[in-house]
Chains A and B, each alone.
Chain A
């Protein structure tokens, strides 16, 4: 009896003391933390797994609607439990009592042969499974991956190796084709690109002269002569490229795909070929890193769903650098003015609140401003004044890396101002007073004493600004980011840095590939990988900012004591 009473009492006490609430609050934190970890973990795992060379599985498969047994060769991408009822409502009869059924997504590749490169496979219908050593994964320039058995290799249509000998010969021929492709690319990105650029410059010069009414017959002759020499060289190069292409496409290979069809293709299409089922762990790791390197150093292929993201990395980095060049001096000067020179009254306070609040204004609003003001207004005016020859096709009157950088500079200006101001306000007064006491002017005190001490704060602001800019996508969509930029903003043609060019961006790449691409399933691993890359960059930047800020605080604590 006593015990029960006590129990009751403690129970009601527990409720009254607010114990449940504390547990709920603890649960909220736990949930938030778990959410963060799960989110980053999910992206990390999926992003990192994107490049792992999986085994290829071969199995016999009999679906109830088709009855006959089929051979399927592919890579298991993911599996899920599905209620049988849901299948039934989709018209698939399973004839089983189970509630759940496992459904696999299998990548069967060979998009050019089957039309689709993914299949949904139900576990109960799989009959036998094996992983034959001879199965090949071939990564291709076009049409995605290919799985199957290598039958033979041909040269000019004549079989030179078949059966077991085919594999070493195949690797050798692929290597040869790679070398030729590289020399083609060298010519194309080198001299051909230069000639095209020069021809366009000549066209603009001619138009400009015409607009100025200064196009004399000698000048026309001169321009035409220049053009003809360039065109002659261009034709020669084209011939050379043509013959190289012929050489590259000399060899072909024949492969047997899962429905026993034979499929022949030029060896030049092959990027990489391997037999994943024979690879050991270390070999796979080597392949993995090769693929990761390809991802960060190569250009995208197949509507961005394959290949690398190098132009996007390049565009993001260049844009952020340009933005930093603009935002740092402006932000620092504004902060110095507000903290050191302006009289601290209600006006300064209002401005401070306003600047603070601008950090909370939606990014898309800056995008709208950038489009209207920078692109159409300033860019349009620049085109009228300086690039009349190129009109009606706009030079600066359309989105480009310069306008994107300026828009983001405006967006991140409050971040730099606030951080710098905070740094300036943290500097103890006695430091300043000491400087004045020694006879220094205000400018000298600022330049020699205050600013050096505030540098870490400015660095923090700048890093936070960069982290924000690197992840911001919405405004960029309006001011110059594109899904596929034909040229990088920096190249070998004078003036080397082309601020008017459009550019690619990691964040926009994620949006575009994930949502605008025709083959989302094939692109998914790449989107995760790109996300992971972006998160990594931003986390590192943020952590650096936190680290600098903490060091800074400790430094001043030491100064004050």
Chain B
């Protein structure tokens, strides 16, 4: 009677137990797999952040509409197109002397403003700086008007409306360039707080330049304009009438070019323009069809009738000599370039052609990011918003609105890894300089100096660590007395757990000044130590047997300790007089002045020693294990055949253990490559590329630590830092995998022996 419930109880219990077992299996499975997935996630997350860097830009057509005007007069030509920052209002400068504002999305006219040209009409137009909407207008009566359009935001009923206005930063009335009143067919102007320079091509083919001084009255705050000088270029001009004239923002360079592409490059000095050289912007039969400044006003972009666009800027050849150099050429379009619109915040631009093509370019990364056939007609005008995401084009009487998705144009394989000719540099260079104070700065994202610094730091660290660690491992595993080994091994292994911030701090604040003050002594120590060890070994060998026997075999190391201490102390003391005798008492100064080797206090020697110390325990532990685990019968056999201990070490034990030692070196290298705090604290963190052991460096990891907190989320800089993290991740992961596979092979081999 009573056994049945017990049985069912038992059954129930068994069911319950097997259920528990299944639940446990399920939970552990899910938990374990998700932990592993979480680890894999690191790699994919980094990749996910990095990938947008290499995405192609996209150009999407939004809408198009015919050009509409508030001016009842017959339709005027568009001289220039612009868009406001947010991409809501478009601006069209017309040949009727009007500035027409229209809704970007519908094309509906919004406002019409008139340029105060007086009796003259507009005969030429040039944008001065697209980033602040400034422009210059040349008139039929020899005058030049400098102005800029702006938008004043007003808030009414919680809605933001933009009210377009025209402002005249220099003068409300046009400045007189040519007293004779000839029409100006091409115009250029630049102004700053102190002076204004205007230049124009006159109807008779001459070029006139005028400089004005700007003086502000301290009491009234009014500025007065005074003509200081004017010049003409008639003696330099040939038969061809100039069609383009340009002045750089610092009012230093003047460029005058004709349709055939012949350019005159002048230096604007206080006494007048001086011709530096004549340059042909086009090659052969091509015509110059568009000439614009890249943002910042340093580079000229010259578009030709064959569809190529060349970037030119003055390159310093010698301290006082500049030469206008063709730095790179983009040959993407098939027909004549009609208009070029530089981006407002990046070194990129958009160009349109007579064949109806549009192209998106970037100079630093040397990329044609996109070309597209957008129209059957010539596309005469193009404009881009300050944020770089809205583009207007005009072909015929139709305006097209485009959305551009182009987040990281400055990144390309060649910009990251190749030599790049940056603006104002005299040659292509590897440079890492991610940010600066000015907005029209060209970011320099070459990873080469960082990779070089990383490898240099790792190289010097390994140079210091490998001999010590591997030789130490060989001795500890094979020659050392077991009792001593039990003390030595943990002592060195303790170092592996030492926080690197402490080693870095000692390296930077204690070792670096010490090395600078006692460089001779330190170098002497490095040279004298091995010699002293050998000499002592030889003397020891010469000692009478009885004395030698007093130290049991395998305790050599202990005898050497006082020797090392003595040598270090001796050389350290000896360093100062030797330095005084040979190097005038100051070796670092002697090196930089006499030998031409620059010396930094925080240099690669410091890194080598400090990071070497961090790497030694890692290499030592693994290498020691590898040598120690070689089956003893191998070396016994060799010794029994008459080999000396060293011979059996070199010929039998070491070859067997060499894969293990190799894997130790790989893991040590991985650690040296990724180490952050030591290099951050013990180098100057300057991204230079020189093998000089007395100069600093900057590694990938230290660069992340320095720049990551300041990088704007989602910017190219941010993603490049993620890319460097990914590079570090991949590099160390591969090194470690090789090491691990080699080690597992070795373990199998031992078990077979």
Contacts and interface: CB of A to CB of B under 8 A. Distances in A.
Interface in B518-543: 529-530, 533-534, 536-538, 540-541
Contacts of B732: 357, 360-362
A83 B585 contact: yes
Interface string A54-88: 00000000000000000000000000111111101
Contact of B475 (A26, A331, A371): A26
A29 B488 contact: yes
Contacts of A24: 471, 530, 533-534, 537
Interface string B667-681: 100110111110011
A27 B566 CA distance: 13
A42 B491 contact: no
Interface in A312-367: 330-331, 333-334, 336-338, 340-342, 351, 353-358, 360-367
B492 interface: yes
Interface residues of B, number: 114
Nearest to A546: B490
Contacts of A376: 713
Instruction: Choose among B509, B517, B540, B713 the residue with the greatest number of A CB atoms under 10 Å from its CB.
Output: B509
A248 B492 CA distance: 54
Contact of A32 (B46, B469, B538): B469
A330 B616 CA distance: 31
Contact of B505 (A510, A542, A546): A510
A471 B670 CA distance: 19
Interface residues of A, number: 107
A410 interface: yes
Contacts of B733: 357-358, 360-361
A99 B500 CA distance: 38
Interface in B421-442: none
Interface in A1-40: 10, 14, 16-37, 39
B471 A28 contact: yes
Instruction: Choose among B21, B32, B533, B675 the residue with the greatest number of A CB atoms under 10 Å from its CB.
Output: B32
B24 A29 contact: no
B567 to A, nearest CB: 10
Interface stretch (B140-148, B213-221, B365-373, B557-565): B557-565
Contacts of B691: none
Q: What is the interface of chain B mostly: helix, strand, loop, or mixed?
A: helix
Nearest to B648: A18
Contacts of B741: 353
B676 A474 contact: yes
B645 interface: yes
A372 B45 contact: yes
Q: What is the interface of chain A mostly: helix, strand, loop, or mixed?
A: helix
B624 to A, nearest CB: 10
A357 B673 CA distance: 14
Interface string B30-49: 01110110110110011001
A267 interface: no
B75 interface: no
A155 interface: no
A89 B39 contact: no
Instruction: Choose among A42, A81, A358, A361 the residue with the greatest number of B CB atoms under 10 Å from its CB.
Output: A361
Contact of B491 (A33, A85, A338, A472): A33
A462 interface: no
A36 B495 contact: yes
B499 A22 contact: no
A22 B492 contact: no
B560 A357 contact: no
B502 A531 contact: yes
B740 interface: yes
A491 B474 CA distance: 54
Given A25-B475, A511-B681, A357 B509 contact: no
Nearest to A417: B35
A330 to B, nearest CB: 5
A474 B705 contact: yes
B38 to A, nearest CB: 7
A527 interface: yes
A191 interface: no
B39 A531 contact: no
B597 interface: no
Given A30-B557, A362-B728, A474-B676, A538 B499 contact: yes
B226 interface: no
Interface string B572-596: 0000110110001110010000000
A20 B725 contact: no
Contacts of A122: none
Interface string A133-160: 0000000000000000000000000000
B740 A356 contact: yes
A19 B541 contact: yes
A354 B39 contact: yes
Interface in B462-513: 467-469, 471-472, 474-476, 479-480, 488, 490-492, 494-495, 497-506, 508-510
A255 interface: no
For the complex of A and B, the 6 pairs showing the least CB-CB separation, nearest first, are: A337-B32, A18-B646, A85-B585, A362-B674, A471-B499, A23-B537
19 contacts: A17-B644, A28-B475, A33-B561, A83-B579, A99-B580, A330-B38, A337-B29, A337-B32, A341-B28, A360-B736, A362-B676, A417-B35, A473-B501, A474-B701, A507-B501, A511-B677, A511-B680, A514-B681, A520-B509
Given A28-B471, A514-B509, A542-B497, 7 more contacts: A19-B537, A39-B506, A341-B29, A360-B733, A365-B46, A464-B497, A507-B677
Interface of B: 17-18, 20-21, 23-25, 27-29, 31-33, 35-36, 38-39, 41-42, 45-46, 49, 467-469, 471-472, 474-476, 479-480, 488, 490-492, 494-495, 497-506, 508-510, 517, 529-530, 533-534, 536-538, 540-541, 556-558, 560-561, 564-565, 576-577, 579-580, 584-586, 589, 613, 616, 620, 644-647, 649-650, 667, 670-671, 673-677, 680-681, 701, 704-705, 708-709, 713, 721-722, 725, 728-729, 732-733, 735-737, 740-741, 744
